[in-house]
Amino acid sequence: MLIEKLKNRSAHLGVVGLGYVGLPLAVEFARAGFKVTGFDVIASTVEALNQGRSHVRDVPSGLLQEAVSSGNFRATTDFSALANVDTVNICVPTPLRKTKDPDVSYIVSAVEEIAKYLHRDTLVVLESTTYPGTTEELILPMLEATGLKVGEDFFLAFSPERVDPGNPTYNTHNIPKVVGGVTPACTETAQHLYRATLDTVIPVSSTRVAEMVKLLENTFRSVNIGLVNELALMCDSMGIDVWEVIDAAATKPFGFMPFYPGPGLGGHCIPIDPFYLSWKAREVGFEARFIELAGMVNSYMPEHVVKKTIEALNAQGKAVRGSRILILGVAYKPDIEDVRESPAISIIERLLRMDGDVDYHDPYIADLEREGLAMRSVLLTSDRVAGSDLIVIVTPHKSFDYDMLLENAQSVLDTRNALKGRTSPKIRRL
């Protein structure tokens, strides 16, 4: 029985997708004593992982090497190896199409492979963020088409990933794990998988509830960030320091939680998940106006940064065209190497279209390559700073020498309040 195999750690676990979610989970399973096979479609990634070289910052190569050398973890591009696993966690990307509707093609591709090799007493868990109903409406029919019955012959559940890249306190092991199954037996089986490895497991009544949990978590952040971004726009037009307003409001010991404005939302979850939710709401005839409005405000912020850039250069009697603009930080959040949905990319592209002479520095991102965009990080030296007409702080990495920056810069646009406590006529804030 699968539950017994999970209890005694004799189950063979599979993880499909070895990125920011899948690799930490696979290594955590391996550390708990399970045999784990990781599946990915990128051959170079698989080769590096089998040599103990991690491409995910939250999984140090030393930790990966231990998992590999112990024999508990191996990676492969051969999906026929799914025939040998007892559980499969699906951790593939779920982006938005240009039309802002969900792209579940990666999930479909993964499930097609799983269905080919599905056998009795197998647990399948979707972890990729998606809209409520995906597990039961999309995955379940594909798996039951094999002739096996859910809750009896195989088990199907959803458990939202809650990865926070770069967080030194919370990681895969100690972040509470929500799980909901298609049937009670599915929920129970999935609980045993996670309880054998993770600190805390939170069962819920269904896959739909579990799917909605993740969307609520990130929509909560999106809406509150949208509120404070709108407040920042309002304060800017009134000549009020929004950062001082927030700090003062945060002294209230109840009824207030501080959120902070910025140049736009980045990462895979917060800029995307609310659109999954509003898309699903429209499908059932509900208009999520509050959520969509927050998305509109947040999406406008890179344009606002460009507007502030124009103002900062105008104050020097300069136009964007031909001005030397240095962007500090292009990762979507501090101290990580992830540029997914980073507002810095949008800001750079807009300034380049205005013929600005744009460079960037980021200690975590050596190269920035997108369609129509190919740049390399420049060295951050006092000469480079002094030779720039404007420094725009987009991502406040801890390694930046802000004292050197302020001493040598002609003008600084601080979109993150990285220069908090410093006063200078050189500084302009969001």
Residue 49 and residue 65 in contact, taking contact as beta carbons nearer than 8 Å = no
In whole angstroms, how far apart are CA 320 and each of 36, 92, 348? Answer: 53, 40, 12
269 assigned to active site: yes
417 is written with which tokens?
Answer: 């309040």
Residue 15 and residue 7 in contact, taking contact as beta carbons nearer than 8 Å = no
d(C-alpha 44, C-alpha 172), whole Å = 25
Residue 23 parent element (H or E): helix 22-31
d(C-alpha 105, C-alpha 93), whole Å = 9
Residue 419 and residue 393 in contact, taking contact as beta carbons nearer than 8 Å = yes
Q: 25 in helix, strand or coil?
A: helix
Rg (Cα) of the chain, in Å, rounded? 24
Backbone angles phi, psi at 185, to 5 degrees: -65, -35
Backbone angles phi, psi at 357, to 5 degrees: -90, 90
d(C-alpha 116, C-alpha 83), whole Å = 8
Residue 13 and residue 4 in contact, taking contact as beta carbons nearer than 8 Å = no
Residue 202 parent element (H or E): strand 201-203
d(C-alpha 335, C-alpha 402), whole Å = 15
Give the pairing type, strands 367-370 and 373-376: antiparallel
Which residue type, as a one-letter code, is found at position 121? D
Residue 29 and residue 4 in contact, taking contact as beta carbons nearer than 8 Å = no
d(C-alpha 315, C-alpha 310), whole Å = 9
Q: Which of the residues 91, 186, 235, 269 is marked catalytic?
A: 269
In whole angstroms, how far apart are CA 364 and each of 30, 83, 335? Answer: 28, 39, 7
- Residues with a known catalytic role: 269
